[in-house]
């Protein structure tokens, strides 16, 4: 997922500063113990996990009827800080947040796609991540040391089970909507299939029923880069030098999947890093090399290598057709939510034809769905970049359902 500050700069839309009428302003993450030893969280791998703390943020106000709540579900490298400006970036040692808004700030706030004048918006960090919710970096209560690779393997369904507990904690019987792009969109599928009575509508963006073989291959190579880093130490690197080189390579590789051939050609082409002629060296000759190295280095400053292993594996495992015994239409037959699906023409990680297959399956299951394919050269990252095109679609969908 592209850096949100770069998104705003690339689209030349500017950034809504904390005092702007279009910004949710200063935000503070909240942490809550949602799972304790008396009520552990069951996981798909067969294990149970306790305790579990969840970090989340909220924007807007919950109505008296508690019927205006929207859960935003983040993607692989996202977090709970979806909008506004983090007032606690120093407290939690997150310097990368100092000068930039939340990762979907262009879409969440007054007058935006998820209008906080009308909606109570919630975004929680997923299980296994490294932004406040329990993960491999957390202390194992049985050893007093970070879990590392002793942390259980988690799935998208495990994430949703935990999000359900947050919904209950907030006292919300039924969500007005859930929305997410990429891996967040797959969480939304798990929500509407497994808990149809708990959500009224769903917005699924740049996501499909499962990751294709090429996506699986990119994730596998990225994990191998981390596992083979000499600093990895079988995942027990906390307190010593992290496997920065492996994580940097994994991010560089993954970032390629977020872009399209056209966007890379337009931004970089075959331009040399220094002038118009080669320097006859083996590294950092072309502009695209420098760009990917920058993406990798900046990612290492804000993400945990073990978390990357766990989250990409959860992405690999997800297959919505499994809920229907291998039949996608059967999986969606029991949903109750109104559905909006958005894909992008140049997205090859979750291509339009795969999202259309989900839309057809929903129709085959007898449920209504709106599907839109947006022409875009931005590849998978279009769900962050195409704000001008996404906003009216989302706004119209929510208004059409009389959700305001």
Residues labelled as active-site residues: 182, 347, 380
Q: Are strands 338-344 and 369-374 parallel, antiparallel or unpaired?
A: parallel
How many CB atoms are located within 10 Å of the residue 173 CB?
11
For residue 389, count CB atoms less than 10 angstroms from its CB and return exposed for 0-12, middle for 13-18, buried for 19 or more: middle
The two three-digit tokens of residue 109, written as one number:
């706030």
For residue 193, count CB atoms less than 10 angstroms from its CB and return exposed for 0-12, middle for 13-18, buried for 19 or more: buried
Phi, psi of 6 (to 5 degrees): -65, -30
Residues pairing with 54 in the sheet: 32
- Transcribe 178-244 into DSSP letters: EEEETHHHHHHHHHHHH-GGGBSEEEEES--SB--HHHHHHHHHHHHHHHTSTT-GGG--TTS---H
Helix axes 183-194, 156-169, angle to 10 degrees: 70
Q: How far apart are CA 211 and CA 193, in angstroms?
A: 18
């Amino acid at each position: 997922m592209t850096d949100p500050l770069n998104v705003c700069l690339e689209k030349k839309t500017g950034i809504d500063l904390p005092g702007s009428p279009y910004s949710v302003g200063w935000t503070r993450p909240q942490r809550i113990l949602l799972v304790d030893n008396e009520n552990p969280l069951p996981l798909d791998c067969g294990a149970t996990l306790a305790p579990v703390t969840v970090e989340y943020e909220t924007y807007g106000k919950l109505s008296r009827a508690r019927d205006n709540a929207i859960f935003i579900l983040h993607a692989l490298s996202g977090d709970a800080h979806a909008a506004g400006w983090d007032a606690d970036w120093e407290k939690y040692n997150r310097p990368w947040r100092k000068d930039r808004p939340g990762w979907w700030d262009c879409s969440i706030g007054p007058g935006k796609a998820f209008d906080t004048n009308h909606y109570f918006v919630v975004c929680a960090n997923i299980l296994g991540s490294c932004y406040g919710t329990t993960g491999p970096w957390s202390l194992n209560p049985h050893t007093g040391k970070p879990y590392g690779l002793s942390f259980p393997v988690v799935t998208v369904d495990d994430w949703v089970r935990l999000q359900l507990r947050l919904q209950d904690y907030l006292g919300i019987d039924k969500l007005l909507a859930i929305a997410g792009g990429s891996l967040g969109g797959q969480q939304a599928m798990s929500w509407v299939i497994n808990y149809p009575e708990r959500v009224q509508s769903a917005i699924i963006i740049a996501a499909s029923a499962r990751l294709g073989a090429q996506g699986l291959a990119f994730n596998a190579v990225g994990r191998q880069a981390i596992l083979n880093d000499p600093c990895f130490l079988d995942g027990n690197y906390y307190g010593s030098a992290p496997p920065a080189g492996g994580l940097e390579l994994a991010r560089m590789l993954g970032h390629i999947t977020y872009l399209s051939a056209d966007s890379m050609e337009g931004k970089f082409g075959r331009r040399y890093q220094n002038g118009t002629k080669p320097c006859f060296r083996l590294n950092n000759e072309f502009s695209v090399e420098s760009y990917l190295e920058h993406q990798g280095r900046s990612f290492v400053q804000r993400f945990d290598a073990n978390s990357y292993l766990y989250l990409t594996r959860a992405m690999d495992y997800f297959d919505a057709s499994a809920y229907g015994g291998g039949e996608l239409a059967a999986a969606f037959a029991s949903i109750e939510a109104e559905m909006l699906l958005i894909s992008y023409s140049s997205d090859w990680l979750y291509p339009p034809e795969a999202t259309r297959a989900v839309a057809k399956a929903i129709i085959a299951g007898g449920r209504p769905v709106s599907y839109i394919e947006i022409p875009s050269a931005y590849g998978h990252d279009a769900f962050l970049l195409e704000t001008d095109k996404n906003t009216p679609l989302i706004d119209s969908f929510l208004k059409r359902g009389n959700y305001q």
